[in-house]
Amino acid sequence: MNEESAVACEVLAAFESKVDARAARVGIIGLGYVGLPLALLSASQGFTLQGAGACVDYHDPYFPYLLKMRKYRFDLGTVALSPEILADYEAVVVATDHSTYDYPGIVCHARLVVDTRNATHAVQEHWEKIVRC
């Protein structure tokens, strides 16, 4: 196993440990068809979804605020995507491929990127941090 693969395995193991403890901080990039159900699933599994100190945050330029739904009351607004905030997450999930995102910058500053939309296909650096699914 090369050094990059070993680092990726360590990051994934740390993330899994935090998820098991319900202590992982996750940023969802884009809501759309994947992000909103992911937020709902996270809430149903015991993760809190409330503002900057929560376990799950989201950013979407087209959904600046989530209102009350039938079962969940999020009262949650989109967070900024600064390098510091991205670095604070155990994982960033790319749920929607908005053309407004700086994917190389997101990958650079995030510890782990789970890309559900192949939005990071052109990223040339730090590819060992990307899990495509």
* Cα–Cα distance, 27 to 33 (Å, whole number): 16
> How crowded is the C-beta side of 33, counted as CA atoms within 13 Å?
3
63 C-beta neighbours (distance < 10 Å), count? 18
pLDDT digits (tens, 9 = 90+) for 26-54: 788 877 655 555 666 665 555 554 433 33
User: pTM surpassing 0.75?
Assistant: no
Q: Report all structural domains of the chain as residue ranges with CATH numbers, in order of start.
A: 3-132 (3.40.50)
The secondary structure of the chain as a DSSP string is --HHHHHHHHHHHHHHHHHHTT---EEEE--HHHHHHHHHHHHHTT----STTSSEEEE-TT-SEE---SS----EEPPP--HHHHHH-SEEEE-S--TTS-HHHHHHH-S-EEESS-TTTT--S-GGGEEE-
For 87, the token pair is 């670095």
pLDDT digits (tens, 9 = 90+) for 90-131: 889 898 888 999 999 999 999 999 898 899 999 999 988 898
